[in-house]
Structure formats: structure tokens, C-alpha cells
Amino acid sequence: MNLSRREVLLAGGSALTSTALGSIPLLHADYDLVIANGRVIDPETNLDGKRFVGIHGNKIVAVSKTPIRGRKTIDASGLVVAPGFIDPISHGQNLENDMVQVFDGVTTKLQLEGGVRDQDAWHKEQRGNRMCNFGAGVGHPTIRREVMGNDHDAELSPSTDAQVDKMANLVDEQLKKGAIAVGFGFEYVPGSTRMEAMRMFQIASNHHASCHVHMRYGTYDEEQSVFTAIEEVVALSLITGAPLHIVHVPSMALGNTPKALEMIEKAQRQMAKGHFPPLSCDFYPYTAFGTGISSEVFAEGWQHRFGIDYKDLEYARTHERLTAETFEKYRKEGGMVIAHAIPETAVQAAIKSRATMVGSDGGLDKGVGHPRSSGTFARVLGHYSRELKLITLSDAIRKMTIMQAHRMQHKAPQFLKKGRVQVGCDADLVVFDASSIRDRATFDQPALTSVGMHHVLVNGVSVIKNGMIIDEKPGTGLRAAASR
């Protein structure tokens, strides 16, 4: 008996057998857990209807129109059942941040822009200590700092051919060890040359790895505008064949976000017509960006570049708005600063664009940080979808799940089983109330958790149950196949 995934899905739970599901074991109609009576939304198949979801171990083994029996049952009447959300740009790769983000519906967190230095060591450290699934790329800025020898040269100095060779070898080594992408932060390392960037893109292309890029420019200056930056990275992608992902577009494009997204969408359409690498991008739904106050982002002339002044800067640790004096003080001390520089029109343009997926760019440190770390996904679902009706619920879920899975599955096949509510897929699932889900995090209280998530499962294990967090750590590491 050979059934396609679609045939199994349409057959319903009563037709499922161990033969139909291959190696997935079932005990007749009994399941470890059944999520019953929920409105199931699967963004890949466009399923949106009442279903019963059967789970065995860490897999979805039934999606049925008719009732099925489980050893345990979650009654999801009046609630939405969707794939667990995938955060493609999560800097908070630890348990503190997992415990906040599960309330936001996040079940998989990826450190792709920043990356990590050593895949083996990082995955060993995370194993058994995480609520959410986790994965990482290799970060060009980290490699550059190691090769250049000190922070000043890493940020500002051009590299020699020998140094570029060393960087390329280190990036290549980490991709062979299972890094799932290459991350770039050109704005933070303005000394990196175009030829250095192209070499790193070429190494990524050799491994079919996507490049997740914080672009070189995000200012209102014409020659250092987001449009110049988009031209650079799209050209690098086309020249080398490396897939491209542009991170947090509104925080780079600011008031130019609608035009920048138009540019990205046109590039997507043109690239889709030929044998070109795919292009994607993400956003977070807030009108301020956050970064290190000591970074090159705030080098001299930042007021003109970003169209803001000291009063628009908020020091994250104290929540005070800055003056010329306190700016200089904190620039020497370091820490996160929040720049209230993104127009609401930019956020709304990103919400409505078909090109964008949702990504938090978040990371709390002992509760200090940006509210995007806690409320990104619920804010899209609650404020922008339910209240402002800028996007349908199904499209919002698409931007949180299958778009990320499609982005990553070419390199890491585990993502073929994520971002979906389908038979054979991982039991990473959220059950939430669409009528009440909302973010609570603020710039003053960035660690306040979202509300409206009734249940969150990671690999079939409850980490949120009846709205309460459960002390479980079922998160598993995601890596590309190692190669030599």
C-alpha cells in the first residue's frame, strides 16, 4: 500500500496504518496525544479547517477529519492549531530566551546572521539545555575578528589576500562541520572589501548554503543608502550563485522601507524567472532598532545618517533617553541602545509585503533588551492581523513557519519536516486563541511574555500546557549534513 503524503492527509486518521506511514509505528487508532477539535492551519497545503491531530512520539502521524483516540487529549475547540514558529534571526540562544519565546509560539530558533564560531562546541553546549530547537550558521564578522587580530582592525581595516584566504578556509571548515548558513554584518565591519565579501559568498555557494546578511548601509545618504546595499548583496548572490537572505529590512531601510521592499520583490520575481538563487528577507514589527552603542553603527555622523538625534536613543539597561553627555558616557561603557528611528509606515509595509517572513532579531540578557525578544510573533498575530487587519491569520502563520522552512530545507533537510501540520512532520505545534493572542513586552519591560498561547509542543513534548510553562528541555540541534 503506497500512499502519497496528500493521500494520507486526506484519508483521515481511521485510514492510517503502520504500512501507510512506513517506519512510523502506530497501535491501531491509539495515539500518544490527540489535539482535538481545533482549527488546523497548514500553510503549505492551505489547509484551514477543523481537524484532529494524532501524535506518536515526536511525529505527527494523523491529521483526520473524524475523531481519533489518544492516550492524552488536548481539546482545542475554538483554538487555532498551527506549526510551531521558526525564528530565523534569534540571538538569544539560551534557556532564558527560550522560556520567553515559547510564550510567543516559537519552537525553533536559528542564529544565522551572527552565527557561531565552532559548530561542534556550540551544539555540545546546547544539547539537553534547550526548550526550543536550535541551529546556527558561521558568522563572517567573528571569523574576521579572529583573523584580523583585534577589534579595531576587524571593524575598520581592509584585509590582505592572505587574510581573506584564511577567512575562507575557516568558513569552509565550519560549513563542512554542519553550519547551516553563512552570516554577515557588513555595517559592523565596514573595513570588509567587496572582494572579501564575494569570496565568502562563493564559499557559501560551494556548500549550497544561504547568506544571511545585515547589509552595509542603512542610512538616508544616497551613496550609503539601503538601495546601494541591496544592489551589493543581490549582485553578490547572482555572481556567486549563493542564496541570499536580507535581515530586518525596516531597521535598515527606515523611511525608505516601502521602496526597498519594492526593489527586493522585483529582484525576487526576476530571479525566479531563471536559474538564479532564491532571495528572501525578514522583519520585526517594532518602530525602533536595537544594537550596541559602541558599534560602528553609531560612528560620527549617525544623526544625519539615520535622521534622529540623542533624544531618540534609549539606553536599554536604564531606559533613559540620551543626551550628548550620556551618549559619550555609554559609548565608552558599551551596552544596547534602542534607536526610535523606524516609521510605523515601514513596519506596515513589511507586514503586507509578500516577500517578508517574521524574525525577531531578539536576545535578552538578564531581562535587558528589546521587546522584539519576547513579543514579535504575537504582535504580528494580535496587533497587525487581528486588530489592524493588515494581513490574514493564514498569511501571518505562513510568514512564521513555512517560509522559514522553505528557506532552510535546501541545506538542512530536517526543515522538510518543520513549519507544517502534515503526517510525518515533527510535532512542533502551537495551540492558541486567535481572538486574544497579543504581545505584552514594552521598551520599559522587554521580558514580559505574550499571552494567548494555550499549548506549545516541541518534538511532541509540552513546554506550554494550559498557558503555563513546563520544565522540559526537548529542543534538538539542527545541522546540515557534515561533508569533507
The mean pLDDT value for 125-148 works out to: 98
> Which pLDDT does position 223 carry in this prediction?
85
129, three cell numbers? 539545555
Contacts of 56 (CB under 8 A, 6+ apart): 24, 25, 26, 31, 32, 460
429, three cell numbers? 505545534
Name the amino acid, one letter, at 205: S
Tens digits of per-residue pLDDT, 110-125?
999 999 999 999 999 9
Separation of alpha carbons 408 and 228, rounded Å: 26
How much of the chain exceeds pLDDT 70, in percent?
93
Name the amino acid, one letter, at 279: L
SS (H, E, C) the chain: CCCCHHHHHHHCHHHCCCCCCCCCCCECCEEEEEEEEEEEEECCCCEEEEEEEEEECCEEEEEECCCCEEEEEEECCCCEEEECEEECEECCCCHHHHHHHHHHCEEEEEECCCCCCCHHHHHHHHCCCCCCEEEECEEHHHHHHHHHCCHHHHHHCCCCHHHHHHHHHHHHHHHHCCCCEEEEECCCCCCCCHHHHHHHHHHHHHCCCEEEEECCCCECCCCCEHHHHHHHHHHHHHHHCCCEEECCHHHHHHHHHHHHHHHHHHHHHHHHHCCCCCEEEEECCCCCEEEECCCHHHCCCHHHHHCCCHHHEEECCCCCECCHHHHHHHHHHCCEEEECCCCHHHHHHHHHCCCEEECCCECCECCECCCHHHHHHHHHHHHHHHHCCCCCHHHHHHHHCHHHHHHHCCCCHHHHHCCCCCCCCECCEEEECCCCCECCCCCCCCCCCCECEEEEEECCEEEEECCEECCCCCCCEECCCCCC
Q: Which of 82-86, 247-251, 298-302 has the lowest mean pLDDT?
A: 298-302
Beta pairing partners, 63 = 53
Separation of alpha carbons 323 and 309, rounded Å: 9
The Cα-based distances of 93 to 96, 129, 241, 321 in angstroms read 8, 10, 30, 28
Length of the chain (residues):
484
**Under 8 Å between Cβ of 106 and 358:** no
Inter-helix orientation angle 161-176/140-148, to 10°: 130
- On the CB side of 307, how many CA atoms lie within 13 Å of its CA? 15
> Which pLDDT does position 220 carry in this prediction?
86
Separation of alpha carbons 446 and 103, rounded Å: 13
> Which pLDDT does position 484 carry in this prediction?
53
> Which pLDDT does position 483 carry in this prediction?
63
> Architecture of domain 5-83+423-472 in CATH?
Roll (2.30)
How much of the chain exceeds pLDDT 90, in percent?
90
**Under 8 Å between Cβ of 89 and 433:** no
Q: Would you give the distance in Å from CA 262 to the centre of its chain? A: 22
Q: Would you give the distance in Å from CA 209 to the centre of its chain? A: 16
* Intervals of CATH 2.30.40.10 along the chain: 5-83+423-472
**For the chain, first and last CA: distance in Å?**
39
Place of cell 584564511: 166
Separation of alpha carbons 417 and 436, rounded Å: 29
131, three cell numbers? 526548550
Beta pairing partners, 185 = 214
* Intervals of CATH 3.20.20.140 along the chain: 85-287+342-413
| Confidence grade of residue 21 (pLDDT, cut at 50, 70, 90) | very low
**Under 8 Å between Cβ of 348 and 385:** no
**Check whether domain 85-287+342-413 has CATH 3.20.20.140, yes or no:** yes
Tens digits of per-residue pLDDT, 412-431?
999 999 999 999 999 999 99
The mean pLDDT value for 172-182 works out to: 98
Beta pairing partners, 48 = 41
| Confidence grade of residue 221 (pLDDT, cut at 50, 70, 90) | confident
Model-level pTM?
0.93
The mean pLDDT value for 61-79 works out to: 97
> Which pLDDT does position 2 carry in this prediction?
39
Beta pairing partners, 313 = 339
**Mean model confidence pLDDT for the chain:** 93
272, three cell numbers? 525566479
